[in-house]
Structure 1
Amino acid sequence: MTHDVYEIEDFVLESGATLRPARLAYRTYGTLNADRSNAVLFPTWFAGTHEANEWLIGPGEALDTDRYFVIVPNLFGNGLSSSPSNTPPPYDRARFPAVSVRDNVAAQHRLVTEVFGIERLALVTGCSMGALQTYQWAVSHPGMVERAAPYCGAARTSPHNSVFIEGVRAALTTDQDWRGGWYDRPPRAGLRAFARVYAGWGFSQAFYRTHTYRELGHASLEDFLAHFWEMNFHHADANDLLAMLDTWQRADVGTTPGCDGDTARALGTIRARLLALPSETDLYFPPADEEWASAFVRDGEVREIPGVWGHLAGGGGDPKAAAFIADALRELLASPPGGATTGVGEADGAPGEGARP
């Protein structure tokens, strides 16, 4: 899997732990132009790597590499960036520290500014946990993000979403091989249970009612559960999954320093032209959450992705949903930017990473 790694020495997390160093895996596509104005940031989602984002990237695609320089940073915990599975003691395996969405954004900000010298981003976009990061970018660096397109995500993880996370966490950690995270062999039974609990949430009720899984080549529901869902997590490291779940569960732009836990207040600081794209049948991040958030964004709009694919409408597997997302991104990139201007941001009193400990 081709990618680069940016190492940040003595990277202090919000939890107080220090990664020495933090390793941020990333890949770039296209060419950065002379004035560094064509950069697009596209963070990854839960358990996905940069490869999972590539369906939107390339010549003539929505993120056209003949026009844009696309940076895809990998989420901490996904096995490529710093994760329980690849971090040396004392923060290896079960002792890997809690990592927030803002920690991810802080590392990505250093990559974008220190490695590439980019002062503004034409677009930040992402699916699911990538959408959580997209919102945090727009809040933490309002003067840098011109356009934002979170899809199949939200500005915060809701209580109902948190209940789902508790369910898959419990399914994974009840395996007798789990051993508190210090397993000698992968907890296979726990990983299979994790996948099957996930299966009831990733797609919508209508997806299963209409047997849409048959269109993916599965003759039965059991075949779909075994081959699609179980195999999706078969090679995953259990501690990595739990680290990403923890990041996901605690996500809320309202906890940005300076916002005092007020999500609406945080959303009100966003200057980017923001187009939220929830899936109309998403069980994690329902459209109502995005409609609520949009009311507080100065230049916010919501468009529902049609179809029965639920949360996985954002993965590129459904041609109709994929076309809807791609068309929306093209339209957004062709539109005037939001209120972001070069050099404006945290210095003018907006909450940002500068307030981090």
Structure 2
Amino acid sequence: MTGNMSLNAPRDAGVEASHSIGRFDFEAGGFLEQLKIGFVTYGALNAARDNAIVVLPGTANTRHSADGYIGPGKAFDTDAYFVIALDAIGAGTSSKPSDGLRGRFPAYNIRDMVRAGFALVQQVFGISRVRAVAGASMGAFQALEWSILYPEATAASILMVPAARAGHVFRSTVATARRVLTMDPLWKDGQYDVPPVEGLRMAGRVYYPWTVTDAWIEQLSPEQLEAETQQTVERAAQWDAWDFLKRYEASASHDISQPFAGDFAKALDRVQASTLVLPSATDRLLPVASARLVARGIRHACYAEIPSTQGHLGWRAVQGSPATTFINDQIARFLGTTG
């Protein structure tokens, strides 16, 4: 393991580290002799090692995606919990295509991310059962798969803007973003010498409108709309092209029913964890119907819709906003009544 890691680190400071979990075999085939997973921790692990919350990132995000919900008095209260925020395979400080393999980096999926994260938690911290797993969007995909793959090792699960599978809207949006990116002349069939930044920017521009709603867009001035769009555009431009493609393809492949011959009920029946399902009421990227399917299929599920007109992005922490206050309150109440 590398990094300045201490289980007794100050509670208000995040401690960055990474760890190689050893050889990793991917579900679709291929392997890495050494798979590295990056992470940051907050708070202190108690003597019983039963207060750990694992926070998992969204598609475009890293281990810092939920920072606005982590800290004393927040949803993931570091005065009470030991928070481990992970970088999933393919981005951040975890192993990724831009490390050198590029297009030869093995195809990976949500279950691969979860198996790697679970191995890290066991190897580094000796934790056999987590207090909770949590995440938004692709982070929720991972948290749900964690509960399915490791039902006895998961006490609770918190799913923000989740889905049982990536639907047609999301998959189509990702396919369009890929096509736009690979049309950049600098792409060169993936053998680029100069990063295809304009292709990445255009992919971000294609993606942005689906993360919000018509109502949200229409209440913005043209200048505000362009400024918001540019935030997504520039975030996309910061990615390596192969990292971007492999990550979004992994997210778009999400389907909890796939190992169960398409049977969602059978997949969800494996979940033993108390589960909080928090979709955005106006999400069109991952429609609320899929979140309702998840809540209906889990025996110990609580369900509430985030009151936001911002669509999929309604989960993002904005200090003082009604949606963020709602999420903080829902999670704090849920964790306070489950164990």
For normalisation by structure 1, the TM-score amounts to: 0.87
> Which of these residues, 331, 334, 337, is aligned with residue 335 of structure 1?
337
Answering whether residue 185 of structure 2 is matched by residue 176 of structure 1, we say: yes
Q: Is the Cα contact below 8 Å between 1:40 and 1:71 reproduced in 2?
A: yes
Aligned match of 1:10 in 15, 23, 29? 23
**Partner SS for 2:53:** strand
Q: Aligned to 1:122, which of 131, 145, 162?
A: 131
Alignment partners' CA distance in 1, 2:143 and 2:164:
9
Are the aligned partners of 1:168 and 1:194 in contact in 2 as well (CA < 8 Å)? yes
Question: Greater CA deviation, 131-140 or 4-13?
Answer: 4-13
Preserved CA contact (<8 Å) 1:280 1:306:
yes
Give the distance between the partners of 1:79 and 1:35, measured in 2 at CA: 30
1:225 alignment partner in structure 2:
229
Q: Hey, what's the Cα distance between the residues in 2 that align with 1:278 and 1:28?
A: 26
Which residue of 22, 27, 31 corresponds with 2:35?
22
Offset from partner CA, 1:128-164 (integer Å, 9 cap, x none): 1000001000100111111111101212112232111
Aligned equivalent of 1:237, options 237, 240, 250:
240
What 5-or-longer segments of structure 2 have no aligned partner? Answer: 1-13
Amino acid at match of 1:328: Q
In 1, the alpha carbon distance for the partners of 2:77 and 2:33 equals 36
Aligned residues of 1:136 and 1:155 also touching (Cα < 8 A): no
Q: Distance in 2 between matches of 1:207 and 1:143?
A: 41
C-alpha displacement of 1:65: 0.8
1:182-229 deviations in Å (ceiling 9; x for gaps):
111111221121011111111111111111xx6xxx834334333x22
TM superposition shift of 1:293: 2.1
Q: Secondary structure of 1:27's match?
A: strand
Out of 59, 65, 68, the position equivalent to 1:55 is: 68
Matches within 5 A, 1:129-278: 129-211=138-220, 219-226=223-230, 228-256=231-259, 259-278=260-279
Does structure 2 retain, via aligned residues, the 8 Å contact 1:314–1:322? yes
Contact 2:275/2:301 (<8 A) preserved? yes
Q: Does structure 2 conserve the Cα–Cα contact (< 8 Å) formed by 1:30 and 1:69?
A: yes
- 1:191 & 1:83 partners in 2: Cα distance? 17
- Tell me the distance in 2 between the aligned counterparts of 1:272 and 1:152: 18
Separation in 2, partners of 1:221, 1:65: 36
Corresponding position of 2:80 = 67
Q: In 2, distance between residues paired with 1:16 and 1:229? A: 32
1:92-120 Cα shifts (integer Å, max 9, x gaps): 11211111111111111111112111121
What pairs up with 1:90-105 in 2 under 5 angstroms?
92-105=101-114
Does the aligned pair in 1 maintain the 2:69–2:76 contact within 8 Å?
Answer: yes
Structure 2 equivalent of residue 314 of structure 1: 315
Residue of structure 2 in register with 1:347 after alignment: none
Contact 2:53 2:84 in 1 (8 A): yes
Contact conserved, 1:100 with 1:247, CA < 8 A, in 2?
yes
Change (3 A) 1:223 1:115: closer
* Identical aligned residues as a percent: 35
Q: Is 1:39 the equivalent of 2:52?
A: yes
Q: CA deviation at 1:2?
A: 6.3
2:64/2:85 contact within 8 Å kept:
no
Aligned to 1:345: none
Whole-Å Cα distance in 2 between the matches of residues 252 and 135 of structure 1? 11
Contact 1:99 1:247 in 2 (8 A): yes
Q: Distance in 1 between matches of 2:83 and 2:227?
A: 37
Distance 1:161 1:333, change over 3 A: same
Q: What are the Cα deviations for residues 69-103 of structure 1, in whole angstroms up to 9, with x where unaligned?
A: 001110111142111112x4xxx112111111111
Amino acid at match of 2:91: N
The answer to which structure, 1 or 2, has the higher relative contact order (CA under 8 A, 6+ apart) is 1
The CA RMSD measured in Å over matched residues stands at 1.6
Q: What amino acid is aligned across from residue 321 of structure 1 in structure 2?
A: A
Looking at structure 2, the residues matched to 223 and 294 of structure 1 have their Cα atoms a distance apart, in angstroms, of 36
The separation in 1 between residues aligned to 2:226 and 2:56, in whole angstroms, is: 32
Distance across 1 between alignment mates of 2:282 and 2:40: 31
Residues 69 and 205 (structure 1), Cα distance of their counterparts in 2 relative to 1, 3 Å cut: same
TM-score by length of 2: 0.92
C-alpha distance 180-3 of structure 1, shift in aligned 2 (>3 A): farther
Distance in structure 2 (CA, Å) of the matches to 1:247 and 1:331: 32
**Contact 1:147–1:332 (CA under 8 A) maintained in structure 2:** no
Give the distance between the partners of 1:79 and 1:64, measured in 2 at CA: 24
TM-aligned CA distance change 1:118 to 1:220, over 3 Å: closer
How many residues align? The count is 325
